[in-house]
Chain A
């Protein structure tokens, strides 16, 4: 196994070299596979629920690492996504969540479009970083729906997708506003004077 060109680094100092940034991801699913409105709803709902669960997990991780501010922010985002999921059901007059196959929806490559990547976290990250992650998630969600609005075969699905894309567009705008109100990261946001401490 060759090493590739990874830069060498001294272990033990806890000084990673990169700002966590949301990265581009491939489109998760082929649009023509959505055969009817129920299936589309199941995907949309799952997308929100998985996003909520993921933000919750990220909140827990940040809470365990004593980064309360970011934990609270992720917790808020989780609640927002959960709300979106519930709204989706209400809007479609369906009070019961769709039945999913065992193991959940199979997204084509990777995870749901709105699901944040846990690899993006850093224990010293600041709210600005978290919002950048959220912004990327919302943009992907918007793009996901825009794709269906364009390419879905059924008119009803295209209509629903148009509405959801608009929703997500609104979310994008809100997060952009939120970002403007949030201080950018400190110059030495990563710095931790203490060395790592093992526990096992």
Chain B
């Protein structure tokens, strides 16, 4: 831990690195980056004690745009890497980030088990209902009638409902945010990080290149009509019936986080030999 107690906590700008994002101008992820930096500042974190872990995709580029430690891994496995990091280093704040393809498609299995395992980390998904990096294929959250080259006429498949699945799988904190309100998003991310256990924040973040109609999202989102609940049944009814545009913290539970104790040995290496000695 830093002993530089005298210095003021870093301002949001201190969490943004010098590397310029390659996101398309207009992309919601710029605001998410702003929100993340603001959240870290609100929590008075220091960049060296935060790790941002991501997979592959446009949103997954975010770690290097922060001044925190970053891990840009392979497609779909960010939650696994973040889980290993947090269990091994419980002193760090671990933020796992990615998009809807990385998180709900190839990463789907790890998403389920991360919710179930309830390690104390926060997962943000910048959901734009499309695979942006690979030029515009449907993702699990894309509407069934969205036309694309790989699925002409639309996939015809029901969309993935990440918040419902997160709740069913055991996530302890579930929220939906919108990149068009970066301060509101910052507040939710800060609360998510503050809440022990697995915190999931799905962030609607428009892709202006492949889903330009998502610029209309700002007309469609609304604050969630009810305050968050700690009753999974009530949360389930609300989430499963919402239209995907209710913004706010929707569920906040009380599950104890999973964290094996690290660093306290009860035996020495030589003690273990006894099991083999004749």
Direct contact of A and B (CB under 8 A): yes
The stretch from B15-23, B76-84, B85-93, B110-118 touching chain A is B15-23
A66 to B219, CA, bound (A): 30
A-chain residues with CB within 8 Å of residue B154 when the two chains form the complex = 8
| Nearest opposing residue in chain B for A8, CB measure | B147
A-chain residues with CB within 8 Å of residue B149 when the two chains form the complex = 10-12
With beta carbons under 8 angstroms apart, the residue of B23, B38, B130 that contacts A11 is B130
Q: Is B179 an interface residue (CB 8 A)?
A: yes
Q: Is B211 an interface residue (CB 8 A)?
A: yes
Q: Is B106 an interface residue (CB 8 A)?
A: no
Q: Is B257 an interface residue (CB 8 A)?
A: no
| Nearest opposing residue in chain B for A23, CB measure | B218
How far apart are A131's CB and chain B's nearest CB, in angstroms?
Answer: 16
CB within 8 Å of A: which residues of B?
9, 11-13, 20-28, 30-31, 34, 38-39, 41-44, 56-58, 60-61, 130, 133-137, 141, 143-149, 154, 159, 161, 179-184, 186, 190, 206, 208-216, 218, 220, 242-245
Q: Do A18 and B215 have beta carbons less than 8 Å apart?
A: yes
With beta carbons under 8 angstroms apart, the residue of B12, B137, B161 that contacts A1 is B161
A-B contact pairs, 8 of them (CB 8 A): A1-B161, A1-B244, A8-B147, A11-B147, A61-B21, A61-B23, A117-B180, A119-B31
Q: Do A110 and B22 have beta carbons less than 8 Å apart?
A: no
Q: Is A185 an interface residue (CB 8 A)?
A: no
With beta carbons under 8 angstroms apart, the residue of A10, A20, A60, A119 that contacts B147 is A10
How far apart are A120's CB and chain B's nearest CB, in angstroms?
Answer: 7
A8 to B138, CA, bound (A): 12
Q: Do B11 and A119 have beta carbons less than 8 Å apart?
A: no
| Nearest opposing residue in chain A for B9, CB measure | A102
Known interface pairs A1-B141, A8-B147, A17-B212. Does A102 touch B136 (Cβ–Cβ under 8 Å)? Answer: no
Scan A107-132; emit 1 where CB is below 8 A from any B CB, else 0.
10111000001111111010000000
Q: Do A119 and B218 have beta carbons less than 8 Å apart?
A: yes
Q: Do B22 and A64 have beta carbons less than 8 Å apart?
A: yes
Number of inter-chain CB pairs below 8 Å: 149
Q: Do A11 and B180 have beta carbons less than 8 Å apart?
A: no
B-chain residues with CB within 8 Å of residue A98 when the two chains form the complex = none
Q: Is A166 an interface residue (CB 8 A)?
A: no
How far apart are A172's CB and chain B's nearest CB, in angstroms?
Answer: 24
| Nearest opposing residue in chain B for A71, CB measure | B25
With beta carbons under 8 angstroms apart, the residue of B11, B137, B215, B245 that contacts A104 is B11
Scan A33-67; emit 1 where CB is below 8 A from any B CB, else 0.
00000000000000000000100011011111101
Q: Do B211 and A3 have beta carbons less than 8 Å apart?
A: no
Q: Is A155 an interface residue (CB 8 A)?
A: no
CB within 8 Å of B: which residues of A?
1-4, 6-12, 14, 16-18, 20, 23, 53, 57-58, 60-65, 67, 100, 102-104, 106-107, 109-111, 117-123, 125, 195-200
Known interface pairs A16-B209, A103-B39. Does A6 touch B181 (Cβ–Cβ under 8 Å)? Answer: no
Q: Do A123 and B25 have beta carbons less than 8 Å apart?
A: yes
A13 to B244, CA, bound (A): 27
With beta carbons under 8 angstroms apart, the residue of A65, A102, A195, A200 that contacts B41 is A102
A60 to B21, CA, bound (A): 8
Q: Do A196 and B38 have beta carbons less than 8 Å apart?
A: no
A-chain residues with CB within 8 Å of residue B11 when the two chains form the complex = 100, 104
B-chain residues with CB within 8 Å of residue A104 when the two chains form the complex = 11-12, 38, 41
Known: A2-B243, A123-B25, A196-B210. 15 other contacts (CB 8 A): A1-B244, A6-B214, A9-B211, A10-B147, A11-B210, A12-B149, A18-B212, A64-B20, A65-B25, A102-B9, A104-B38, A118-B27, A122-B25, A125-B25, A198-B135
How far apart are A10's CB and chain B's nearest CB, in angstroms?
Answer: 6
Q: Do B26 and A20 have beta carbons less than 8 Å apart?
A: yes
Known interface pairs A2-B244, A12-B135. Does A199 touch B22 (Cβ–Cβ under 8 Å)? Answer: yes
A197 to B30, CA, bound (A): 20
B-chain residues with CB within 8 Å of residue A106 when the two chains form the complex = 183
| Nearest opposing residue in chain A for B147, CB measure | A8
A63 to B20, CA, bound (A): 9
